Every structure is written in structure tokens, then in C-alpha cells.
């Protein structure tokens, strides 16, 4: 995974989220107990946390939390997602290959953190867009690389976005059982 993969994922998310920016984001995000606004805030916070953890080469949980200002518009929230995505990409671009940082699922490298950022951005943007019956259309090659990095046990072929949705319990695949539990596999890959 590269910083450009994250940039491409965030760009797809921003495009899709902008298409529903005029909607009421106090409704629940698809499949979550959170509102669309809280889901968007969580996404921006994730990207900030990943950038900060990688920049600090954190060896334990950092206590970073990005809280949006009360009354922020949906368009402003989308801009924060775009900005935190770019911040994370810049930090990852500057990180040496030897950089490692703590994530609750384990220590990982910049590529692992970027893959998690891509996954969080795509999946939570999907959760928001699906609440309004709008489809997110992420780049297939980015989804393929993210799946290979974080879910190497998923060997299903076909559309990588559809496979990612299935592998995270957000969609169905013909002939495959629904997924109810999943996790990222983030250890450093050589």
C-alpha cells in the first residue's frame, strides 16, 4: 500500500460523500448504531490517529481524538476527512521503511497503517452512503491491494470491492456464507 492508494481511496470517498452532503446526517449509518455524522467524525478521527501514531512511531496507544466543532456542516466534515487523509498520506510518505507504530491489533509498518486507513475510509464512507441508497465506487486496484495486505485469507475472486464488503459483513457473495466476524491482519509483511 502506498500514500497514493490512500489518496485515491479518500478521493473516491469525498466524491461519494459530497453527493449526499445535502442530506440529513443525523440518520443512522447503514449497519451501524452510529449516525452518519458520528461515522464521518470517526473516520476523520481514525485518519488523524493513524497519522499521529505513525509520525510518533508510537509503541503504545496514543490518546488522540479529533472532535469536530459543534455545528459543523456536512461539507465541512467532508473537508476534514479530505484533509486528515492527506495529512496521513504525507506522514506515510515521509516515514522510512523501518517505521513501526502501535495499533490496537498490533504493531505495523506504514503500509499496514495505510491499508487500515484505506479500509476505514472506504467502509465507513460506504456505511454513510448506503444510508442514502448511494453506491461508493472505489478503485478496484486499491481494494485488491488492501485485501491482499489486511485480509490475505480472503481468496475469493471477482470484484474486489464486492469481496471487501462481503469479507467485512457488509454484503453478500453468491455461494458464500455471510460473514459476521472479521478482523484486520496487520503484522508487517516482508
**DSSP states of 5-60 as a string?**
HHHHHHHHHHHHHHTTTTS-TTSBPTTSSSBHHHHHHHHHHHHHHHHHHHHHT-SS
What pLDDT is attached to residue 175?
A: 84
Domain 3-167 CATH (choose: 1.10.3470, 1.10.10, 2.40.160, 1.20.120): 1.20.120
Give the pLDDT of residue 140: 95
**Residue 188 in contact with residue 100, Cβ under 8 Å?**
yes
Q: Tens-digit pLDDT profile for the chain (190 aa)?
A: 999 999 999 999 999 999 999 999 999 999 999 999 999 999 999 999 999 999 999 999 888 777 788 889 999 999 999 999 999 999 999 999 999 999 888 899 999 999 999 999 999 999 999 999 999 999 999 999 999 999 988 877 789 999 999 999 999 988 888 888 888 887 776 6
Q: What pLDDT is stored for residue 190 in this prediction?
A: 61
Residue ranges per structural domain of the chain: 3-167
pTM of the shown model: 0.94
Amino acid at each position: 500500500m502506498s500514500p497514493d492508494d490512500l489518496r485515491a481511496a479518500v478521493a473516491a470517498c469525498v466524491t461519494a460523500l459530497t453527493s449526499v452532503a445535502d442530506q440529513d446526517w443525523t440518520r443512522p449509518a447503514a449497519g451501524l448504531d452510529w449516525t452518519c455524522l458520528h461515522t464521518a467524525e470517526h473516520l476523520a478521527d481514525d485518519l488523524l490517529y493513524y497519522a499521529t501514531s505513525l509520525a510518533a512511531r508510537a509503541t503504545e496507544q496514543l490518546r488522540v481524538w479529533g472532535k469536530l466543532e459543534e455545528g459543523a456542516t456536512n461539507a465541512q466534515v467532508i473537508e476534514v476527512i479530505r484533509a486528515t487523509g492527506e495529512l496521513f498520506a504525507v506522514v506515510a510518505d515521509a516515514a522510512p521503511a523501518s517505521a513501526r507504530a502501535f495499533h490496537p491489533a498490533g504493531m505495523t509498518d506504514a503500509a499496514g497503517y495505510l491499508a487500515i486507513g484505506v479500509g476505514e475510509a472506504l467502509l465507513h464512507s460506504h456505511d454513510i452512503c448506503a444510508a442514502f441508497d448511494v453506491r461508493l465506487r472505489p478503485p478496484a486496484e486499491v481494494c485488491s491491494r488492501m485485501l491482499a495486505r489486511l485480509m490475505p485469507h480472503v481468496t475469493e475472486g471477482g470484484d474486489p470491492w464486492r469481496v471487501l464488503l462481503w469479507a467485512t459483513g457488509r454484503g453478500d457473495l453468491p455461494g458464500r456464507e455471510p460473514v459476521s466476524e472479521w478482523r484486520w491482519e496487520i503484522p508487517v509483511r516482508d
